[in-house]
Structure 1
Amino acid sequence: MKYLVKKFDQPLKGAVQLTSSKSESNRALLINALSGNQLQLHNLSAARDTQTMQRLLKESGEVWDVLDAGTTMRFCTAFLAVKGSGQTITGTPRMCQRPIGVLVEALRKLGAEIEYLGQDGYPPLKIIGIKDQQASLIEIPGNISSQFISALLMIGPSLPDGLTLRLTTEVFSRPYIEMTLDLMRRFGVQSLWEGNEIKIA
């Protein structure tokens, strides 16, 4: 097979539209859902994790299956703690081997009722949700997955007393936390990060 390549005498001018990253898209979808889906989002990632997030946020089933989407598992666990009605969240066998205990413990301190349906510290989970907020200050290590921290930050505005996260160790994934806070600002959420504390009204 032969190809004919033509040389242009002048530079080409144009623009290539790139889709958003999975990290940006999944955060934007969750924040929008928490704020009542007031905005129509465009240019979302085509990744399966993002497609799974969109599917789950549109349905009202009793079982939320995230498949193998780790970001979706962590973000939707926090979402169901403030917006759910007793759903079970699960995933593939491999997903049910990925630890989620740090996030569950933090949500329990906030007042969520969460039951492990298998091994403690791992999905699947039965999430009753937060009826009365039990705390507004949560201590959590900074060297864990930023997805745990981001999940908590994003539900902060939905809590009656807001949320302050005190990071008890060095922060390993600061850019991803800053991405979360920046996207929240675009939805009108004010935050303050001073020292080792992040405050969400």
Structure 2
Amino acid sequence: MNFFENTRKPQGFGGKLMAKMMNSGHAKVSQWGFSNISAKPDAKVLDVGCGGGANIATWLDKCRNGHVTGLDYSEVSVAESQELNAAAIKQGKCRVLQGDVSAIPFSDEVFDYVSAFETVYFWPGLKKCFSEVNRVLKSGGTFLICNESDGTNASDEKWTKIIGGMKIYNSDQLVAALKEAGFTEIKTYINAKKHWMCIAATK
């Protein structure tokens, strides 16, 4: 396994290292993604593919009277996220679970926001996974997708050869899958200079 496979599913010591690197390496694109929505202070949030837990911490800061759940299929990521957000977990404001986005372990209409930062590249079938996100969102809830690659930068394609199972999507592909999964109002934001993409889809 090459080290970069840890971006898909962090494992072992290399995965622990990658989870910490992702927290700092994705900080700017995450900040930009968050700037495209305004969060309610009492919101219930699910961060899917939570990695090292930095975005959980940002959600907790934005939704101080709310509750934030992190979900990741990597045991290493879950442990890293729990460690970073230990105080909030102790206060009952946060929990982090191991689970799969194609079968989200929650009942229907639980969350006000679901976020996916730098993770949809690895999801097993967009329509199925997006339908699961739609199912656990409350009516009027928002699904926030934030990617460091908007699918128009040819040099990004090298990562799909280095990391098994990775697929880079453009905004048209993501919007089409979101519509198929039942999302109605879909807003796309692009940082053309950096090839960043953020999509806010409303149920």
Name the TM-score, length of structure 2 as normaliser.
Answer: 0.33
Instruction: Decide which structure has greater helix share.
Output: 2
Q: From the two aligned structures, give the one with the greater strand fraction.
A: 2
- Alignment TM-score, normalising by the size of structure 1: 0.33
Larger Rg: 1
